[in-house]
A and B are shown apart, each in its own frame.
Chain A
Amino acid sequence: MASSGEQQERCPAAAADSLSFMELAVQQAKLALESLEVPVGCVIVEDGKVIASGRNRTNETRNATRHAEMEAIDVILDHWHRSGLSATEVAEIFSRCILYVTCEPCIMCASALSILGIKEVYYGCANDKFGGCGSILSLHIARGFKCYGGIMASEAVSLFRDFYEQGNPNAPKPHRPRAAQASS
């Protein structure tokens, strides 16, 4: 599988660590797939510990903004609210958090992650149509976060392939991910 391009730096985190966190993100993506949702999943990690996870819920909610990242962000914000943390405290914790997500964050999510001031993002496959971390816009550069792609990209892509294959046979088939075609 091709790695994710020259714009992304090489992944500095301990390889084993980032693989195991990405594995958890892939598990989330599989949950989405089982619920007939676009299979994207993610986890948020603070100091080596998973503090939130999320997966796509756009069908269930009929809200096309309910991407995995937004779900996980709401989970952890809700938790922090209950714990009585202040906005300043929350901002400080976000600045130490790392997101692992199976697919490059879209322009909306990349922008949200920049607003929150998250530290780093590791993603699986690139998002050629909506990607906000290099594919279409590069929102991680100016007021953003460090961003590394291509981690377990083939797993992420094969979930998309499964998603299309289980989809409604009457629906026009969308374009297959290119890499999936190449590797099949």
Chain B
Amino acid sequence: MCSKQMGSDDIGQWRIEYIPDKPPVPPDQQPTVDVVASPIDPKFANAIVRRLNQVAPLENLRHVKRVQKKCLEGGKAELSVVLCIVPDNGDLRGMPPDVQELISSYQLSTFTTKVCKYAALSKEEWEAQCKLWPTSYHPPTYNISGITGFSEDDSRSVFSFMKYAVELATSGNEWVVNAAVIVDPISSQVIASACDQVCHSHGSPARTSAEPRCYGQVAAISAKSDVNGRTDYDSLPQNASSNYLEQKGAVVSCLSPWSWAKKCAHQSSSSLWHPLRHAAMVAIESSAERDRQLFPGSGRSEDMVSEMDCAQYSAGSPAKRQKTEDLRFQVEIDEKRDVHSLQGPLEKPYLCTGYDIYLAWEPCVMCAMALVHQRIRRIFYAFPNASAGALGSVQRLQGEKSLNHHYAVFRVFMPQDTLRSVPIPLS
């Protein structure tokens, strides 16, 4: 599928992979349902299928094909049909009377077999499903949260912002840290960018938003990708050569959020360390400040009241909510999301609605939840965070249905050359 592997040569090994809301199941271990099936005579196939669709429609198995065609030796085809789902108690006498009637009138010899319970989400799943019984597969379309089918332009834009985030993470004088870049994908504009400020020894006050140094680079990068349309993905800047980086330690905040006291122990008392100033938190703060500066006095408390992060409190006992798996619900959310994104860059932003964030490392729970609060649309990260990652590695916050906002999460794979130059701490 072109959804995962970009075909274009000059993009090389850059690749975008969707991180689903649920842990992926190996394609050959998908849940199945037992069904009653039977070989049929091809000349009765149409009549039988028409009748079955009336008396025993496969309501919750719409992805399952009613008829399986097997090619036998000598070029002959054997057709089999799904009659119905095996009755709950497994007793075939519990099949619908109309189906039983069909069986006897066509003298069918039934057998039980397995079909996959859920529609395939990927081509790999679909291929595995068809080994059991053929199913249909509809690749998700682009307008459903952009899960697949990034156009070449979109991919280039994603790669260029990802590269920028990784450069930012490795551009400090002392340490490799996490970096966050918030982007308006409609205008390809960088809204805010930040590095970790957990152990922050810069002379500048940590409270102020965008660092001027970053800002210049930001402008350069957006201009570059806007004007030329193409950017050079192949190499990091010279200061990110592997020798240079290997001399540095990595103190990525989200990888080991609890060890701030140790990390900052050698900071002078005048330096501005802060245990919670992870890159994403700082970037959110910058974007909020930008919002206040660009749209001063546009009090949007009415939006806040209706959107209310704290809308559902109770004094009752904490109880896990019923997890809803309704796909239509998801689609509805995504349609709303698209409406937002169509409003264009001139629209006053509501928090980070419609914006994407690029992170060098998968965020920790604190950062991931902060991004839910701030209504980020999509998260792209380059490196997974096995020790404390909240978007698939340890937790999977994007799958918590009770949250009032859901973003789509992607990992961006980078070419080996680029990867080798970035030490990945294992802490």
A residues engaging B (CB < 8 A)? 1-7, 36, 38, 40, 56, 58-59, 61-65, 70, 73, 77, 81, 84-88, 90-91, 103-104, 106-108, 111-112, 114-117, 124-137, 139, 143, 149-150, 153-154, 156-157, 160, 163-164, 167-168, 170-172, 174-175, 177-180
Closest Cβ neighbor of B309 among chain A residues: A64
B residues engaging A (CB < 8 A)? 257-258, 260-261, 263-265, 267, 269-270, 272-276, 281, 284-285, 288, 291-292, 299-306, 308-321, 351, 364-366, 369-370, 372-375, 395, 397, 400, 402-404
Closest Cβ neighbor of B401 among chain A residues: A136
CA gap between A115 and B260 in the complex, in Å: 8
Partner of A177, one of B267, B299, B300, B312: B312
Q: Are A62 and B288 in contact (CB under 8 A)?
A: yes
Q: Are A128 and B281 in contact (CB under 8 A)?
A: no
CB neighbours (8 Å) of A2 from chain B are 315-317
Q: Are A126 and B304 in contact (CB under 8 A)?
A: no
* Contact A87-B260, Cβ < 8 Å, known A1-B315, A4-B318: yes
Q: Are A108 and B314 in contact (CB under 8 A)?
A: no
Q: Are B365 and A107 in contact (CB under 8 A)?
A: yes
CA gap between A68 and B137 in the complex, in Å: 48
B395 to chain A, nearest CB (A): 7
Q: Are B316 and A107 in contact (CB under 8 A)?
A: no
Q: Are A59 and B400 in contact (CB under 8 A)?
A: no
Do most interface residues of chain B lie in helix, strand or loop, or is the interface mixed?
A: loop
* Contact A64-B402, Cβ < 8 Å, known A127-B310, A179-B316: no
Q: Are A126 and B284 in contact (CB under 8 A)?
A: no
CA gap between A81 and B319 in the complex, in Å: 39
Closest Cβ neighbor of A84 among chain B residues: B269
CB neighbours (8 Å) of B263 from chain A are 87
Q: Are B369 and A106 in contact (CB under 8 A)?
A: yes
**Interface CB pairs A-B, < 8 A, 23:** A4-B315, A5-B317, A7-B317, A36-B301, A36-B305, A38-B304, A63-B284, A64-B373, A104-B313, A104-B318, A107-B397, A111-B365, A111-B366, A111-B369, A112-B276, A126-B315, A128-B319, A128-B321, A132-B369, A167-B302, A171-B303, A174-B308, A179-B315
